[in-house]
Structure 1
């Protein structure tokens, strides 16, 4: 009796499991040189995180791309909020945004000096005005807002979507992003722990301008490629997932259901 029950379970598992080798895995797109560049970018941003801009110096950088996605990193350096500077999310967010520009053609906007105003807390600042201009000019399919999260938190990535409202009726944008992250080994995911609903967040700002937006709270354990080989490998996995997602995002406009049903 027990043998028959065990055999039945085994048949069920095998019948529902994907066929190994049926579809070959995708070829890797991230090279070691990309991570070397990311490490340099992270270290440069970290070195400048507490330096206020001097003599009219810009405190953020814009890299315009041709892909219909805007990637923001508003806390790559220390933001000024409620009368004081707060901690930064780390230069890894600036490195990630820059590499998404280089490898996927996304438009990137990220802070490079201690910010005189917090772009994820207030709307009245140059960062938000530039973002609004980019949205008006490009009409992107998505704004992806990158943040670093405390390493003690249990998730790898938390999706902030104003509890779904910032997706503007396009839930497949988050669903496909989840598929891509899981496909690269970023497995511990959370939904709207940080919903981006408090204060004047970038996700709220972009969605009010008619563009779907997702705030990504990424564990800092995935955002410090300079910390050694394992940390660099994790950053590479994360970067590859987001590069693939950004490269295919135009498919959403024509066939979202086919897009979702395709293998990651």
Structure 2
């Protein structure tokens, strides 16, 4: 037993070292703002696009990363409205813009197309312009996934192809998610390899891209304290990841 004491002391010392901790990034007020946007977008079911307004919004950034949330409102696919991933996906993208300076594009009303299924729409035209203008380090595409899914986040990379040989983009993402307590990860359950996905579109434009299918319990901050805290942790992990790769 005596031989165990030095080892235990060393572990305690490491865990208590202030150098091993990072200061929290997300404030309650920011989550409250995110909840407000989530509720606003969720309330726009069957609401017509106001005259003179677009069905998506762009937040110009200051770093070479683009974040998309194409299903924050219900898209139009194959002649009918498809379900939305929830306004919380846009809330997450907007908060990441505030925390990092990344460029963001997200839907604000139910549009005439599906930006993650078709290429011939104004959303994709705008994304192409942003790619040409910003020459981004990567595109991060945010989606919501069913709460019953066994993962916290499924990472879609077209089975590795969309990383364009930059595998560190994936390993760094996994590391950051783990550091903020998000451990249940899946790879390419939804690979973004079929149809005209944003990940495929970005890859075709020469930009590494990752699709994130996020369990809805992480992108519904209005649902309760637990969901709001999960949202906060995920935003923090992704913000730190974006800051890391943009340097």
TM-score by length of 1: 0.87
- Of 43-52 and 72-81, deviating more is 43-52
Select which of 11, 16, 20 maps to 2:15. 20
What is the count of residue pairs matched by the alignment?
245
Q: Could you list the runs of 5+ residues in structure 1 that have no partner in the other structure?
A: 252-264
Give the match for residue 134 of structure 1.
130
Q: State whether residues 156 and 213 of structure 2, in contact with CA within 8 Å, keep that contact through their aligned partners in structure 1.
A: yes
Q: State whether residues 52 and 115 of structure 1, in contact with CA within 8 Å, keep that contact through their aligned partners in structure 2.
A: no
Relative to structure 1, the CA distance from residue 72 to residue 13 in structure 2 (aligned partners, 3 Å threshold; closer, same or farther) is farther
1-side partners of 2:205 and 2:237: how far apart?
27
Structure 1 vs Structure 2 CA RMSD: 2.3
1-side partners of 2:236 and 2:117: how far apart?
29
2-side partners of 1:69 and 1:63: how far apart?
12
Q: State whether residues 65 and 246 of structure 2, in contact with CA within 8 Å, keep that contact through their aligned partners in structure 1.
A: no
Relative to structure 1, the CA distance from residue 13 to residue 158 in structure 2 (aligned partners, 3 Å threshold; closer, same or farther) is farther
Shift of 1:126: 0.1
Shift of 1:56: 4.6
Query: Is 1:32 the equivalent of 2:39?
Result: no
1-side partners of 2:13 and 2:139: how far apart?
33
Select which of 46, 50, 61 maps to 1:50. 46
Shift of 1:52: 3.7
Query: 1:135-174 alignment to 2 at 5 Å?
Result: 135-174=131-170
Question: Which contiguous aligned blocks of 4+ residues in structure 1 show a shift greater than 6 angstroms?
Answer: 11-18
Relative to structure 1, the CA distance from residue 85 to residue 245 in structure 2 (aligned partners, 3 Å threshold; closer, same or farther) is same
Shift of 1:238: 0.5
Relative to structure 1, the CA distance from residue 173 to residue 57 in structure 2 (aligned partners, 3 Å threshold; closer, same or farther) is same
- Of 47-56 and 192-201, deviating more is 47-56
Query: Is 1:237 the equivalent of 2:233?
Result: yes
Query: Is 1:200 the equivalent of 2:196?
Result: yes
Q: Could you list the runs of 5+ residues in structure 2 that have no partner in the other structure?
A: none
Select which of 74, 83, 90 maps to 1:78. 74
Select which of 66, 76, 79 maps to 2:62. 66
Relative to structure 1, the CA distance from residue 19 to residue 150 in structure 2 (aligned partners, 3 Å threshold; closer, same or farther) is same
2-side partners of 1:56 and 1:97: how far apart?
24
Q: State whether residues 52 and 116 of structure 1, in contact with CA within 8 Å, keep that contact through their aligned partners in structure 2.
A: no
Select which of 83, 103, 107 maps to 1:111. 107
Q: Match of 2:92, SS?
A: helix
Shift of 1:63: 0.3
1-side partners of 2:209 and 2:45: how far apart?
26
